[in-house]
Amino acid sequence: MTDTAEVLVVGAGLGGLSAAMFLARRGVRTVIVEKHPGTSIYPKAAGQNPRTMELLRIGGLLDQVSQANDLRGQQGDFTIRVAESVGGKVLHTFAESVDDMMAATAPCTPQGWGFLAQDQMEPILLAQAEKHGAVVRYGTELVSFEQGPSGVDALVRDSETGKESVVHADYLVAADGPDSPVRERLGISRHGHGVLSHFIGVIFEADLSAVLPPGSVGWYYLQNPAFTGNFGPTDKPNRHTFFVEYSPERSESPEDFPPSRCVELIRLAVNMPELEPKLLNIQQWEMAAHIADRWRDGRVFLVGDAAKVTPPTGGLGGNTAIGDGYDIAWKLAEVVKGAAGTGLLDSYEPERKQVAELVVDESMSVYAHRMAPHLIGTVPAGVGYAEVLLGFRYRSGAVLIDDPDPAPVEDPLRPSGRPGFRAPHVWITRAGSRMSTVDMVGEWMLIAADERWRGADARVHTFVVGTDFEEDDPAGRVVTRYGIGESGASLVRPDGIVAWRTASPVPGALPAVLDKLHVRQLPGSAGPHR
């Protein structure tokens, strides 16, 4: 039996479910296969930064995510402690204030922060993907795949019955994790710092009210004489996570951590020698920093941990996976629906790989300062958290950069509106409602300063300043922030990135600009599938 799809997604983590959800919302026939029986049970990859929230708004999930876990209203600041044990001697403490987090990004974006962990976020993405027609097959493993001129043929196997079937798709998105069998079969190598440490992760239930204050929110980096590890709460009462580091160099292995030893270590970690924790799951985990050398092979694209792996310090990994999913989704949708030539897909790797480099450097810098001070001075210092989130610049054939500045980021508090950067956030009033220019993002959009731009190309949604919306803040004028003067226009992509701009009234140039950005093929020509 052969199933057909326009896109096959392998792996249903944050990256895979995001890609499937965004594809399905754009009307792309999508099948996703995942070898595990259901969504993740692990409360990891917690938090959605404002850039992710911007994308989730486009996906129709902003209100649901915001309501599911309004951390600011329910909990206090996130406190990080370096201690010998939970409830024991504290060596160092610092807090990540929710108010400070909000204040740092509020001038740059209309969106705040979300605080869902992966076990909460995945079901939301899954429901939205299925709502829009994506077919999600859990307990189904990719066995093999072959690329050809007409698409990808993938052999998949039902884990319960052993029955095999074929899925034929135009494209394959590999979101199958850090050990990505798809990446390995394609022979794609990786670069980076490599493996940083090995952990055994335990999810357990226990009443820790004797050592944890009510409503405690935070994370412990444990420097115990008997072990090194981490401890953190989950969103469920009396459920906790514990990670203990082990060293293969000292001949240690996962087999050295049976349930009985995990119980002993948990007792030491929480300083409760009589505790009887209920172990729910034990799993090995590897902290590493890798970036794939290639993110595309013909009709196959890598997203999420298959493309890059970063330390969890800084909370950037899961957010970047969702960003990967959105980027490949809107581009594949344009191609399979005939709006763009296949050359548009060449922009995926340079754009997302650049972001991955920034993310890994920033995460490594935080890791060194929090957990590995011996690495300080040997790893990049990072360009700044807000710059990585909201000040990155894309460089590819899908943006028409008009300046020689080689910098990979800009200060998001002082947005320039230049091509390659995010469209600036400016408060406006449209149809009687206060909103941001960023809230209009989702399809190709033209923000114009002159009525002469209206109708310049039917492929874009045109918004003329003073006609389609009014500016709320005279000090933050749209024409100034977007750099379009009194007669120009700014062309914004479906991901909110400025693709082209001009300060001159040249509406007749827009169709050619769009054709160039879409990498239109000449009639009868074959699209590249390198």
Annotated catalytic sites, by residue? 221
- Those residues whose C-beta lies under 8 Å from the C-beta of residue 63, and which sit 6 or more positions away, are none
CA–CA distance, 81 with 65 (Å, rounded to integer): 28
Whether the CB-CB separation of 307 and 292 falls below 8 Å is answered with: yes
Reference 325, options 124, 175, 109, 184; nearest CA is 175
CA–CA distance, 203 with 222 (Å, rounded to integer): 16
SS3 322: helix
Find the Cα–Cα–Cα–Cα dihedral 441, 445, 448, 451, rounded to 10°.
Answer: -120
Structure tokens at 518: 């879409």
CA angle 355, 358, 359 (to 5 degrees): 85
CA–CA distance, 220 with 270 (Å, rounded to integer): 10
Structure tokens at 334: 């344009």
Measured in degrees and rounded to the nearest 5, phi and psi for residue 218 equal 165, -175
CA–CA distance, 50 with 400 (Å, rounded to integer): 26
- For residue 84, which amino acid is it? E
CA–CA distance, 193 with 190 (Å, rounded to integer): 10
Whether the CB-CB separation of 494 and 458 falls below 8 Å is answered with: no
Reference 515, options 437, 444, 448; nearest CA is 444
List the alpha helices (DSSP H) in 347-403.
348-370, 385-390
CA–CA distance, 362 with 530 (Å, rounded to integer): 31
Whether the CB-CB separation of 51 and 62 falls below 8 Å is answered with: no
Q: Which residue in this structure is represented by tokens 């240690």?
A: 252
